[in-house]
Chains A and B, each alone.
Chain A
Amino acid sequence: MESTLDKLKAGQSGLVTAILGDGGTLSRLMEMGMVSGSTVKLERVSPFGCPLSVRVKGTSIAIRRQDAMNISLVLDPQPALPC
């Protein structure tokens, strides 16, 4: 299912399909491994709703919601059993 990174729930992960827009923050994220084809997992959301903590290529990165909106992904299939 197509979505964007900011719409993930904590614990959900997906496969990055595109990074839209430009700007320094997005280039930095790409250099840190946020490229199409990478798996990202939303670890947690800050108590105030922003930023998000995401895990990509073995590192946790804090990313603001407005940047996460520019990262499209395909959701990983949900586990059959709720855990």
Chain B
Amino acid sequence: MSPQPYTVAIAGNPNAGKTTLFNAIAGTRHKVANYPGVTVERKEARLRLPNGNMATLVDLPGCYSLVARSPEEQIAHDLLFGRIPDMEDLSLVVCVVDASNLERNLFLVTQLLDQKVPLVVALNMMDLAEEKGTRLDPEELSKTLGCPVVPTVGRKGIGIPQLLEAIQTKLEGNGESKPRIEPFIHQLPGDLDLPVGRLAQKLEESGEFEARDRSRPEALWALLASIDGDDPVHLPPYEVELTRETLGEFNLKTSDLRRAESHARYDYIARVIQEAEITQEDLPHNLSDRLDSVLLNPLAGPLILLVIFGLVFQSIYAWAGPLMDGVDFLFGSIAAGVNSILPEGLFRSLVVDGVIAGVGNTVIFLPQILILFLFLGILEDSGYLARAAFLLDRLMASVGLDGKSFVPLLSSFACAVPGIMATRTIPSRKDRLVTILIAPLMTCSARLPVYILIIGTVF
């Protein structure tokens, strides 16, 4: 038993419960860093396996597909394809699946299976799935896909020991089984199979990919990546060239291939579901349906929205005031204290006017940031932020923005600093950047006294 450094990644759709499961496995002790070169958060923790071995656990950004469209998905893609320098290759991927949205979540799972990465599926939110009318046997799904499937309920910590056990078994090289249905990549329909086969052949001839196992999935991703669009693509130049050549040979467009892939993969998923004898209904979720009919009601919806955001705005605009005064007072007293200790001169000026005043000027925003992020956390976790975006999208779209730009812009009226930080909830990179650039143009609370001063002086 050698102490081998394992790296285990947790992947999954957004909102599949990845973070909850990460915390349930690793405890809350983790360190947060950025991936090299991008501001995508990377969460890492040490993981102790049942046999005492240690592994590094990495939380991958949530993604629906391995075809990258955002920096987050690009990171997930690059990590899974071993394309990030300074990062060890992954020993195993745990794919967290929202069992109550099985088909959509299996999309990513089947893409990972194409990739031949050692995979363990964590079938999360099984309780919700059962309420919604899904009947499934994890054992059957496991045999169909050929990888371990562990039912979990992240919130309650159910299934975590079994999941760790499965991870360990898989890391030891066991738990491999022949899938009942071959991976999607080896049974593409003709319109995909021809170009993929051709590009795979070219990649093999180029000498970079010897094995068919690796060249075929690589060829599929290369063809699906929009090499002429503005999406982030990190393919090596020779591969871009070969891909362009193949697209030309078959007179294909990336969008045609994407349409064909999504369609064929969902057909494939339907077969998986049938083979694993899973039955699904879409029973309405009573509570959330009833809430939605009020929260999204043409009359009550906007009113509730106004009240909630009025409250958020009031809290950062007015209620943070006393706290900020407190911080101000604290730094004032420290400065006064230091003033009385140190003799007058350059050094005192450096400490008092430079260090203390400088840090104080930054820390003074802390109350606003904390309050805003508390509200944002509550609104996001309760799902209200998505509803708010739904209500406000029309308004924001008229100035070319996303419904989710509203909260950052609103908070920028109080202060642009938390406003810019709040843009992290905007999915599209373009909209996020535009919002960040607009946010400082909102009239923040600190500017009002300046305006009043100028108005009073000039007029």
Contacts and interface: CB of A to CB of B under 8 A. Distances in A.
A pairs with B: yes
Interface of A: 19, 21-24, 26-28, 30-33, 35-38, 44, 46-51, 53, 55, 57-59, 62, 64
Contacts of B274: none
Given A37-B267, A44-B296, A46-B394, 15 more contacts: A19-B259, A21-B255, A23-B255, A27-B259, A30-B262, A31-B67, A46-B391, A47-B301, A47-B302, A48-B393, A48-B394, A48-B395, A50-B397, A53-B296, A58-B104
B353 interface: no
Nearest to B253: A22
25 contacts: A23-B255, A24-B231, A27-B258, A27-B259, A27-B262, A30-B259, A30-B263, A35-B262, A38-B266, A44-B296, A46-B393, A49-B394, A50-B393, A50-B394, A50-B397, A51-B394, A55-B282, A58-B103, A58-B104, A58-B280, A58-B282, A62-B386, A62-B389, A62-B393, A64-B393
Nearest to B224: A27
A71 B386 CA distance: 23
Interface residues of B, number: 40
Nearest to B107: A31
A50 B263 CA distance: 27
A57 B253 CA distance: 27
A40 to B, nearest CB: 12
B263 A27 contact: no
B202 interface: no
Interface of B: 64-65, 67, 69, 100-104, 107, 132, 229, 231, 253-255, 258-259, 262-263, 266-267, 280, 282, 292, 296-299, 301-302, 386, 389-391, 393-395, 397, 403
A59 B16 CA distance: 12
A22 B101 CA distance: 25
Contacts of A62: 386, 389-390, 393
Contacts of A37: 263, 266-267
Contacts of A27: 67, 69, 255, 258-259, 262
Nearest to A30: B262
A70 to B, nearest CB: 11
Given A49-B394, A55-B282, A30 B101 contact: no
Contacts of A44: 292, 296
Contacts of B64: 28, 31-32
Contacts of B391: 46-48
Contacts of B280: 58
A33 B301 contact: no
Nearest to B262: A30
Contacts of A59: 101, 104
Nearest to B289: A43
Contacts of A32: 64, 104
Contacts of B65: 31
B103 A51 contact: no
Contacts of A22: 253-255, 258
Contacts of B267: 37
Contacts of A49: 394
When A and B form their complex, which 8 residue pairs have the shortest distance between CB atoms, in order from nearest?
A: A22-B255, A30-B262, A48-B394, A47-B298, A31-B65, A35-B263, A27-B258, A57-B103
A26 B65 CA distance: 13
Contacts of A55: 282
Given A27-B67, A33-B266, A44-B296, A58 B393 contact: no
A66 to B, nearest CB: 9
B426 to A, nearest CB: 14
A27 B65 CA distance: 10
Contact of A30 (B231, B258, B393): B258
Contact of B296 (A46, A50, A58): A46
